[in-house]
């Protein structure tokens, strides 16, 4: 029963031939011509995708799923925990076990170091902001390369930040509460912007990435690490209930709309998944972009998607919180299931 629930035929393959309309990914909403490289698990760059609407003229190797990708709910329709208030209380309890229960299944030290590599943390004197830094797990990877006194950890959850304050290597970091969509930093402030495991709770991800652009200096680099959308039906169902699981092409579009250049996406994942991505990943990609000009982003946006100062209906809040938390429990089981498959299925065979 468990195997039939989790197993799917949505395996990714690198194939040659014609691509469908849009981005070359079946089920894509995005059209027009775009180029971006994708880096795989083995750190080798998959050939650049030259993505055009007219597929008859395109014969390069392209990464596409064998089965169609069903449409995910638009990012403009927040999931049950894709609100700041629900996320606040969600982490009020999750912070107790986050480093010891959640990270081992979704965000290991090896994955962290691999995901931070494209950020080019090459100077100990760099000014770095870690947005949505939470318990400081990602920051621990940053301070391997940058002096802690030059790093600021920002999060909306005081309970998560309390855990970060307990970590000795982070004692010299600045630790502040704040909103990823309205950062308390001046324009052209930082050399590097890092955010890991935070975008999934942003009601308006485009606004958060626009803010990343604003706070960076000319030539500064943003590194955003986040989830990827599942293709397997059951995982997709729970993902769309729980929080935002963007598609890879959505990350690229958000970065490019904000004004970033040299946008690249590197795939990451737990090693026991053996590259399987059909169930989605809480930490599935590291996206980077370079700020090409000083000042604010050229992108103009309307009012914020969520006003946290407005009162909420307590019943609806509780219902959203409970249902979203049940969906989250599914993704606690997925890495355990994949770990068991990795142990049982002989190496070299697909899982």
CATH of the domain at 268: 3.40.50.150
Residue the block writes with tokens 């990877």: 141
Domain of residue 6: give its range: 2-65
Same domain, 61 and 104: no
For residue 65, give both structure tokens. Answer: 């799923």
Give the pLDDT confidence score for residue 8 in this predicted structure. 42
In a domain, 339, yes or no: no
Number of helices and strands in the chain (H, E): 10, 11
Q: What residues have CB less than 8 Å from 323, skipping those under 6 apart?
A: 80, 241
How long a stretch of residues is the chain? 351
Same domain, 129 and 253: yes
Give the pLDDT confidence score for residue 10 in this predicted structure. 38
Same domain, 219 and 129: yes
Q: What share of the chain is helix, strand, coil (3-state, %, to 5)?
A: 35, 20, 45
In a domain, 189, yes or no: yes
Reported as type and span, the H/E element at residue 97 is: none
For residue 225, give both structure tokens. Answer: 């690490």
Give the pLDDT confidence score for residue 40 in this predicted structure. 56
Beta-carbon count within 10 A of 122 CB: 10
| Nearest-angstrom CA–CA distance, 189 and 196 | 20
Same domain, 10 and 131: no
| Nearest-angstrom CA–CA distance, 96 and 42 | 33
In 4-44, beta strands by DSSP E: 12-15, 34-39
Same domain, 122 and 250: yes
Same domain, 59 and 136: no
In a domain, 317, yes or no: no
Question: SS3 of 177, please?
Answer: strand
Q: Output the pTM of the full model.
A: 0.75
The total of structural domains in the chain comes to: 2
In a domain, 30, yes or no: yes
In a domain, 75, yes or no: no
Question: SS3 of 204, please?
Answer: coil
In a domain, 326, yes or no: no
Same domain, 169 and 37: no
Reported as type and span, the H/E element at residue 285 is: strand 281-290
Same domain, 150 and 36: no
Same domain, 144 and 253: yes
Same domain, 49 and 162: no
Same domain, 194 and 228: yes
From first to last of its 351 residues, what are the pLDDT tens digits of the chain? 444 444 443 333 333 333 333 333 333 333 333 445 555 544 445 444 433 333 333 333 333 333 333 344 454 455 555 555 555 555 555 555 556 666 677 789 999 999 999 999 999 999 999 999 999 999 999 999 999 999 999 998 898 899 999 999 999 999 999 999 999 999 999 999 999 999 988 889 999 999 999 999 999 999 999 999 999 999 999 988 888 899 999 999 999 999 999 999 999 999 999 999 999 998 999 999 999 999 999 999 988 766 555 666 777 767 777 777 788 889 889 999 999 999 999 998 888
In a domain, 10, yes or no: yes
In a domain, 23, yes or no: yes
Same domain, 110 and 44: no
Q: Decide if 249 contacts 266 (C-beta within 8 A).
A: no
């Amino acid at each position: 029963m468990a195997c039939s629930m989790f197993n799917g035929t949505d395996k990714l393959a690198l194939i040659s031939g014609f691509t469908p309309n849009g981005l070359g990914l079946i089920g894509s909403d995005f059209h027009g011509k775009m180029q971006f490289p994708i880096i795989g698990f083995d750190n080798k760059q998959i050939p650049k995708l030259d993505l055009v609407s007219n597929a008859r003229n395109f014969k390069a190797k392209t990464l596409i799923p064998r089965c169609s990708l069903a449409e995910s709910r638009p990012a403009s329709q927040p999931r049950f925990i894709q609100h700041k208030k629900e996320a606040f209380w969600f982490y009020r309890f999750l912070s107790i076990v986050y480093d010891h229960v959640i990270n081992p299944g979704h965000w290991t030290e090896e994955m962290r170091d691999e995901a931070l590599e494209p950020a080019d943390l090459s100077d100990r004197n760099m000014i770095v902001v870690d947005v949505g830094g939470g318990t400081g797990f990602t920051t621990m990877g940053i301070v391997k390369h940058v002096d802690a006194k030059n790093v600021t950890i920002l999060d909306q959850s005081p309970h998560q930040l309390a855990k970060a304050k307990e970590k000795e290597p982070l004692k010299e970091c600045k630790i502040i509460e704040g909103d990823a969509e309205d950062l308390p930093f001046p324009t052209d402030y930082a050399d590097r912007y890092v955010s890991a495991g935070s975008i999934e709770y942003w009601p308006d991800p485009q606004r958060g990435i626009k803010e990343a652009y604003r706070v960076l200096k000319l030539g500064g680099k943003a590194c955003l690490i986040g989830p990827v959308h599942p293709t397997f039906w059951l995982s997709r169902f729970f993902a769309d209930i729980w929080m935002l699981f963007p598609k890879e092409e959505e990350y690229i579009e958000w970065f490019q709309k904000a004004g970033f250049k040299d946008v690249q996406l590197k795939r990451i994942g737990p090693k026991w998944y053996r590259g399987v991505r059909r169930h989605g990943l809480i930490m599935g990609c590291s996206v980077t972009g370079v700020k090409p000009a000083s000042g604010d982003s050229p992108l103009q946006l309307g009012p914020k998607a969520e006003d946290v100062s407005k009162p909420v209906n307590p019943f609806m809040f509780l219902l959203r919180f409970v249902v979203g938390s049940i969906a989250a429990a599914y993704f606690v089981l997925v890495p355990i299931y994949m770990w068991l498959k990795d142990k049982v299925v002989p190496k070299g065979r697909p899982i």
